[in-house]
């Protein structure tokens, strides 16, 4: 006889900033369960160095922040979502201060930094380049003292949906492989992105696209997955895992130099080092290709050493631990997969097309980032839309996100002669064929291989096989979206269609059809 499902008002999958913030807001309105497949403090947001954007400085405004966000998004930003993001920013920062997040201050006022494509300084930091970690640790501490049930090492395996309404989630205890079952009125996906799709990535190993895969299999719509942001500057040293070198370093005045030591960004964009991330990443890739090297250099040696060490303590210590003193030595860097701009399609309240199923944070796609995320809007998005999810969930009759775009389904898997599937093979395929610069031939090859892998994939039985299955599904979605979009826009660049096309001034939405 099966064990009855445990009942909660809210089940939240994921323990990053989006999940914890939603949990802390939901605890006031019912019982809350947080499921996290690792420990509560292992997530992508804790690695966020750059900071969190908010228009709170002198001369700044929500309108200016909105304009910068829309400009960066290359024509695909949902203007209503972006308006909400920028207008609610100051109040959500106040919430974080209330929870105890120690933002950096000078003479009693929060200090603000400048990053690429922002017209004014509006980036808040905590502990210099440890902003994500400070927010995560603060919210974790509050959650541990709250009426919130947290199950660590517990992976969400399948969403239970009946008549287009959420009923609950089947999960797996990763330590014992024991199945678990939970029922709920509201289920919130806050699982982060799919950064582990790529061989070179700034993301931790937990970012395996779980929420996107869960939602798609349950019949929810996913959108914009072809737009994958590659951060221009990750540390590139032999034997060292890629380590993010924050955009804030360029905001402080660092220069990018090629293999010959020449500053080159002015040749690619008038904003030079502060150009949008997709422009900088492709410029670096071009310089690497010209020189036949796997890196360029980021140079802060002209800045006062005390400024560098106090402003970027994490980066300074990490590099020093690997024999590199960034106050005297140039930093070898190259682009790396960084942020999933697409995700589970939601409206501005975090609702999906399944009643009672919500998504927020990097797992969601509100349309606020468009084709190219504005720097440091991601942490802001987590708290703005997590709050709105809880607000909407209080309505007695839960709504359904109304579809405004035609959804397509993935093509049927087809057999092919392909190499054996493992995580490394998938990551290499995506890096080589569906990376920073793409073309139709490479994308078609990736589609054939991922399709064949899916056709032969068995039923997942443990955490590694569940994660690989989720990444494989996300790879199919990213690849097919990129193959369909015959243009270059934002982070999606195709060498065979290098120009932006008005015909593609629209979103690609996938939905599984029974």
Of 277, 282, 489, 511, which one is the catalytic site residue? 277
C-alpha 413: how far from its chain's center? 27
- Cβ neighbors of 171 (< 8 A, separation 6 or more) are 35, 151, 154, 155, 156, 157, 179, 180, 181, 182
Structure token digits, residue 117:
């494509």
Instruction: Verify whether residue 506 is a known catalytic residue.
Output: no
DSSP H helical ranges for 272-324: 277-291, 305-311, 313-321
Cβ atoms 217, 159 nearer than 8 A: yes
> Which contiguous run of DSSP H or E holds residue 26?
helix 17-26
Residue with tokens 């309108």: 63
- Pairwise CA distance, residues 56 & 143, whole Å: 27
Helix (H, G, I), strand (E, B) or coil at 271: coil
* 141 class by beta-carbon count within 10 Å (0-12 exposed, 13-18 middle, 19+ buried): middle
Q: How many of the other CB atoms lie within 10 Å of CB of 498?
A: 10
- Pairwise CA distance, residues 280 & 200, whole Å: 17
Cross-strand bridge partners of residue 155: 172
Question: Could you please report the per-residue DSSP string of 386-444?
Answer: HHHHHHHHTSSS---PPP-S-EE-PPPP-----PPP-HHHHHHHHHHHSSSSB-HHHHH
Q: Among 293, 300, 299, which Cα is nearest to 259's?
A: 293
Structure token digits, residue 238:
């032999």
Residue with tokens 């009125």: 185
- Pairwise CA distance, residues 415 & 422, whole Å: 17
> Which contiguous run of DSSP H or E holds residue 53?
strand 52-53
* 178 class by beta-carbon count within 10 Å (0-12 exposed, 13-18 middle, 19+ buried): exposed
Cβ atoms 338, 203 nearer than 8 A: yes
Active site residues: 277
């Amino acid at each position: 006889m099966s064990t009855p499902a445990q009942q909660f008002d809210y089940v939240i999958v994921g323990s990053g900033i989006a999940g914890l913030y939603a949990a802390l807001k939901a605890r006031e309105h019912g019982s809350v369960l947080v499921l996290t497949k690792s420990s509560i403090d292992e997530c992508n947001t804790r690695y966020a160095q750059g900071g969190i954007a908010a228009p709170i400085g002198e001369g700044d405004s929500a309108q200016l922040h909105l304009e910068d966000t829309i400009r960066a998004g290359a024509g695909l930003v949902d203007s209503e979502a972006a308006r909400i993001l920028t207008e609610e920013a100051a109040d959500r920062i106040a919430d974080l201060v209330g929870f105890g997040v120690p933002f950096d201050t000078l003479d009693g006022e929060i200090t603000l930094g400048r990053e690429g494509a922002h017209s004014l300084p509006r980036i808040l930091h905590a502990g210099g380049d440890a902003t994500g970690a400070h927010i995560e640790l603060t919210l974790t501490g509050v959650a541990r003292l709250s009426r919130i049930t947290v199950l660590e090492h517990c992976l969400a395996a399948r969403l239970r949906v009946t008549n287009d309404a959420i009923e609950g989630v089947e999960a797996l205890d990763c330590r014992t492989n024991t199945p678990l079952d939970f029922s709920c009125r509201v289920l919130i996906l806050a699982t982060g992105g799919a950064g582990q799709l790529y061989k070179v990535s700034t993301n931790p190993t937990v970012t395996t696209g779980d929420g996107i895969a869960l939602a798609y299999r349950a019949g929810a719509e996913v959108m914009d997955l072809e737009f994958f942001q590659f951060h221009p500057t990750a540390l590139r040293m032999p034997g060292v895992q890629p380590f993010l070198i924050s955009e804030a370093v360029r905001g402080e005045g660092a220069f990018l130099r090629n293999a010959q030591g020449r500053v080159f960004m002015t040749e690619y964009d008038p904003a030079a080092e502060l150009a949008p991330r997709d422009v900088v990443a492709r410029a670096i890739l071009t310089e690497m290709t010209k020189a036949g090297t796997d890196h360029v250099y980021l140079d802060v040696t002209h800045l006062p050493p005390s400024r560098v060490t106090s402003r970027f303590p994490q980066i300074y210590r990490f590099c020093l631990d690997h024999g590199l003193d960034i106050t005297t030595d140039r930093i070898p860097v190259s682009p790396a997969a960084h942020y999933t701009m697409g995700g589970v399609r939601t409206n501005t309240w975090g609702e999906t097309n399944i009643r009672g199923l919500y998504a927020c944070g990097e797992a969601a796609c509100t349309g606020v980032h468009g084709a190219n995320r504005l720097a440091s809007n991601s942490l802001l998005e987590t708290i703005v839309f997590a709050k709105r999810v809880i607000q909407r969930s209080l309505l007695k009759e839960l709504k359904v996100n109304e579809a405004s775009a035609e959804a397509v389904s993935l093509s049927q898997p087809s057999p092919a002669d392909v190499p054996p599937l493992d995580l490394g093979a998938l990551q290499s395929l995506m890096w080589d064929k569906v990376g920073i610069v793409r073309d139709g031939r490479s994308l078609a090859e990736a589609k054939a291989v991922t399709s064949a892998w899916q056709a032969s994939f068995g039923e997942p039985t443990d955490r590694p096989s569940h994660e690989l299955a989720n990444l494989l599904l996300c790879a199919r979605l990213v690849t097919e979206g990129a193959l369909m979009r015959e243009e270059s826009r934002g982070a999606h660049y195709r060498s065979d269609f290098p120009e932006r096309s008005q015909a593609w001034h629209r979103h690609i939405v996938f939905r599984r059809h029974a």
